[in-house]
Chains A and B, each alone.
Chain A
Amino acid sequence: MATQTILEVRDLTVELATRDGISPVIDGLSFEVGAGETLALVGESGCGKSMTALAVMGLVPHPIGRIAGGEIRFGSEDLVAVGEDRLRDIRGNDISMIFQEPMTSLNPVYSVGEQIAEVLRRHQGLNHKQARQHAVELLHAVGIPDAAARVSTYPHQMSGGQRQRVMIAMALACKPKILIADEPTTALDVTVQAQIFDLLRVLQRETGTAIVLITHDMGAVCELAERMMVMYAGRKVEEGTVDDVIANPRHPYTQGLISCVPHVTDDPSAERAPLVEISGIVPALRDFGADQCLFAARCRQVVARCAAERPVSNDFGSGHRVACWQAEVAS
C-alpha cells in the first residue's frame, strides 16, 4: 500500500504470569497500520487480539503482564520505551479506544457531556465553556438527536446504541490518528450495529483516522476493513487484504473461522450441509510459545512438521502473508 505507515509493531512479545509460569500471550507479533486505513484483528477469545490493543495503548495489566520485547513505533517514538507520562498524553489524544460494553465503559455518575468535555479539557486545554460547546458539536456529529439537550443526560438514560455513539464521540474528540475499536458492536442489535458501522465509516472519511477493529465476526470485517490479520494463540497466522483473505484463505484456521459460522445468504438452498467444525479449543496459556504450530492439535491438514517446527510467515503476493507449512505445499 502506498499510504504512509503510522503505527509499526515489530516483534512484540507480551508475557503474562499465570499459575503455571510465564506465558507469552503475544508472541513475536509484527504488523503495520497505514494512515486512514482500517485493519481488522480477528480471532477467538484468548487469541491475544485484545492484549495487542492494550499493549499499543500502554495498558498491559500490571503486574501480571509485561512487554518482554519488541517495539511499537508510533511516529518517531517507540511506545514500549517512552514513560507513563508520555503514554498518558498519547492515550485518548493520538490513540484512543472504544470498548465492547458501552454501559460499563462510561462513568455512571457524570453526564455524557461532562465526560466528553473532560477529555477535551485534558488533552486540548479547552476551558469549561469551550469544552462543553465542543461536546455538543461532537454529540451532533455522532448522530445524537437534539444534542444540545442530550449533553446533560446520564449514561443510563440512553440506549445501548446511543451510549456507543457517545463512546465514539469521546474517542474521536481529539481527532486521534488511530482509533482502536474492541468489538464495538458485539453488544448491539444488528440494525443498530449497521448504524454504528455507517457512522464509523463517515467519521473515518472526515477525520482520516486509522481504525484497528478487533472482532470475531467476519461480517464486521467485510463491512468495515480493508486489511485483516488473523491471530491464534498470540501469533499472527494470516494477514492480507480482506478481499484476498476472505476469498482465498490459506491458513486452515482462517478457513475454519470463515466457514464455522452460518452466514446469511439471500438465496438459501433447501439442502443444508453440516457446518465445518474446528474441533477442540484454544490451547492452554502454558502451551503458548512452544516451538511448533500451536494450531496443529486442531488442524485437519496437520503433518509431522507442524509439531516439530514453528511455521514462518511467507508472502504469497500483494501482502498476503501466511504462517503455515501446508500453505506452502498447497501453492
Chain B
Amino acid sequence: MEKVVIDEKPVEAARGPIAEVAGMFVKSHAAVVALVVLLLIVLAAIFGPAMYQIDPFEMVWAPFSPPGEEGFLLGTDYLGRDIMAGLLYGARVSLAIGLAAALMSVCIGITIGALAGYYRGWVEEVLMRFTEFFQVLPTLLFSMVIVALFGASLEVVTIAIGVVSWTAVARITRAEFLRIRELEYVMASRASGAGNFKLMVAVILPNAFPPIIVQAALMVGSAILFEAGLSFLGLSDPNVVSWGQIIGSNRPYILDASYTVTIPGVAIFVTVLAISLVGDGLNDALNPKLRQR
C-alpha cells in the first residue's frame, strides 16, 4: 500500500510502546474476557483461603457428599475433605508452579537463545545441539526421573518442569536475535560505542520480547498442565494440595463420584484456556504487522 505520512503530528500522540500494545489488546474481546477470568482466579488463589476458612486436609464431613448438599458448595471427596477448600488452596500451588516454572524456562531459554543468536558460529552450534538434545528427550519421563531422584517437593517439581520446557523459548529467542542483530539500529548502537553485553541486553532483547512474552504466557498454561500430570501420577509433594493432586487422589472413585474429578478438571481447563487466550491476545497486540502505524 502507499505510505502517506503526516507532517504535523500532535505531540500528545507520543504513546509509549506499552500503551500502544494495551490499546491493541483491548480490541480483542475474547482476550479481555479471558484476562478478567484469569484475574478472578488469581484473586481467588490469593484471598480465597483467608476468606474460606476450612482446611483442605481436614475431614469435615462424610465422604462423597455431592455438591451443594450439607452446606458444602462443591461437595466432599473420598476422605470427606472439602473440595472447595482444595480448589482454593490448590489454585495457589498450581498457579505458583506454573508461573515459577515458566519464569525459569524463559530465563534458561533467553540466555541460551540470545547467546546462540548473537555470537553465532561455534557458540550457536554447541548451544543449539544442546537445545536439540533437550527437545528430543521424552519430557514427562525425564521430569519423573528428576522428581523420583530428588524427592517430591514443590521446588523439585518446579525445576523438573522448567528444565524440560525451555527449548521453545530458546529457539524463538535465537531466531529473533538472528533477525534483529542484522538491523541497522543495532549497528548504530555499536557505532555509538555499545559493547556486546549492552547490545544483547539493552538493544536487541527488548526488541525481541514480543514473541517471547507470548510464548511465556502459553508456557504458564502448559506448566500447570504438566504439574497436574505429575500430581495425577502421584509425583508431587504430598503435603500440599494442587488441582492435579485432587484429581489423582480421587481417580479410583471416578465412576461413583465423578464430580470429585471433574471439578478440579474444569478448574484446570478454564485456567489454561484463559491463559492461552490472553497469550493469543498478546500475540495479536504485539504483532507490528497488525498494529497500525
Give complex CA distance A61, B6 in Å. Answer: 23
A contact residues around B4 at 8 Å (CB): 46, 282-285
Q: Do B7 and A281 have beta carbons less than 8 Å apart?
A: yes
Q: Which chain A residues border B292 with CB–CB below 8 Å?
A: 19
Per-residue interface assignment for chain B, residues 1 to 31, with 1 indicating a CB less than 8 Å from any chain A CB and 0 otherwise: 1111111000000000000000000000000
Q: How far is the CA of A48 from the CA of B1 in the complex (A)?
A: 10
A48 — which chain B residues lie within 8 A by C-beta?
A: 2
Closest partner residue, chain A, to B4 (CB atom):
A46
Which one of A25, A45, A51, A280 lies within 8 Å of B3 (CB-CB)? Answer: A45
Indicate whether A313 reaches chain B with its CB closer than 8 angstroms.
no
Q: How large is the interface on A (under 10, 10 to 19, 20 to 34, 35 or more residues)?
A: 10 to 19
- A87 CB to closest chain B CB (Å) equals 21
Between B1, B2, B5, the greatest number of chain A beta carbons within 10 A of the residue's beta carbon is seen for B2
B6, A46: Cβ atoms closer than 8 Å: no
> What distance in Å separates the Cβ of A223 from its nearest Cβ neighbour in chain B?
25
Say how far A149's CB is from chain B's closest CB, in angstroms: 35
Q: How far is the CA of A61 from the CA of B2 in the complex (A)?
A: 11
B292 nearest CB neighbor, chain A only: A19
Say yes or no: B7 contacts A50, CB within 8 Å. no
Contact A50 B6 (CB under 8 A): no
What 0/1 readout, one digit per residue, does chain A (43-81) give for beta carbons within 8 Å of chain B?
Answer: 001101011000000000100000000000000000000
Q: Shortest CB–CB separation between residue A265 and chain B, in angstroms?
A: 32
Chain A, residue nearest B5 (CB): A281
Q: Mark A17-52, 1 if CB is under 8 A from B, else 0.
A: 001000001000000000000000000011010110
Contact check, B3 vs A46: say whether CB atoms are below 8 A apart: yes
Complex CA gap A19/B1 in Å reads 14
Q: How far is the CA of A51 from the CA of B1 in the complex (A)?
A: 9
**Known: A19-B292, A281-B7. Is A45-B2 also a contact (CB below 8 A)?**
yes
Shortest C-beta distance, B234 to chain A (Å), equals: 53
Are A46 and B2 touching (Cβ within 8 A)? yes
Nearest chain B residue, comparing its CB with the CB of A282: B4
The distance from the CB of A3 to the nearest CB of chain B, in whole angstroms, is 31
Complexed CA–CA distance, A281 and B292 (Å): 20
| B interface footprint on A272-316 (CB within 8 Å = 1, 0 otherwise) | 000000001111110000000000000000000000000000000
Interchain nearest-CB distance for A14 vs B (Å):
11
Are A50 and B5 touching (Cβ within 8 A)? no
B2: chain A residues at CB < 8 Å are 25, 45-46, 48, 50-51
Docked pose: A115 CA to B5 CA in angstroms: 37
Q: In the complex, which residues of chain B have a beta carbon less than 8 angstroms from the beta carbon of A45?
A: 2-3
Complex: A69 Cα to B2 Cα, angstroms:
21
Q: Could you give, for residues 195-224 of chain A, a 1 whenever the CB lies within 8 Å of some chain B CB and a 0 otherwise?
A: 000000000000000000000000000000
| Chain B hits for A51, CB < 8 A | 2
Cα of A282 to Cα of B3 in the assembled complex, Å: 10
B1 CB to nearest chain A CB (Å)? 7
- Chain B residues, CB < 8 A from A46: 2-5
State A183–B104 Cα separation when bound (angstroms).
51
In the assembled complex, the Cα of A284 lies from the Cα of B4 at a distance in Å of 6
On chain B, the residues within 8 Å of A50 by CB distance are 2
A282 to B4 CA separation, bound complex (whole angstroms): 7
Closest-by-CB residue of B relative to A50 is B2
* CB nearest neighbor in A for B1: A61
Complex-state Cα separation, A46 to B4, whole angstroms: 6
Q: In the bound complex, how far is the Cα of B2 from the Cα of A282, in angstroms?
A: 11
Find out whether the CB atom of A284 lies under 8 angstroms from the CB atom of B6.
Answer: yes
Q: How far is the CA of A284 from the CA of B6 in the complex (A)?
A: 5
Could you name 23 residue pairs across A and B whose Cβ atoms are closer than 8 Å? Answer: A19-B292, A25-B2, A45-B2, A45-B3, A46-B2, A46-B3, A46-B4, A46-B5, A48-B2, A50-B2, A51-B2, A61-B1, A280-B7, A281-B5, A281-B6, A281-B7, A282-B4, A282-B5, A283-B4, A284-B4, A284-B5, A284-B6, A285-B4
- Please name 18 further chain A to chain B contacts, defined as beta carbons within 8 Å, in addition to the given A45-B2, A46-B2, A46-B5, sorted by A numbering: A19-B292, A25-B2, A46-B3, A46-B4, A48-B2, A50-B2, A51-B2, A61-B1, A280-B7, A281-B6, A281-B7, A282-B4, A282-B5, A283-B4, A284-B4, A284-B5, A284-B6, A285-B4
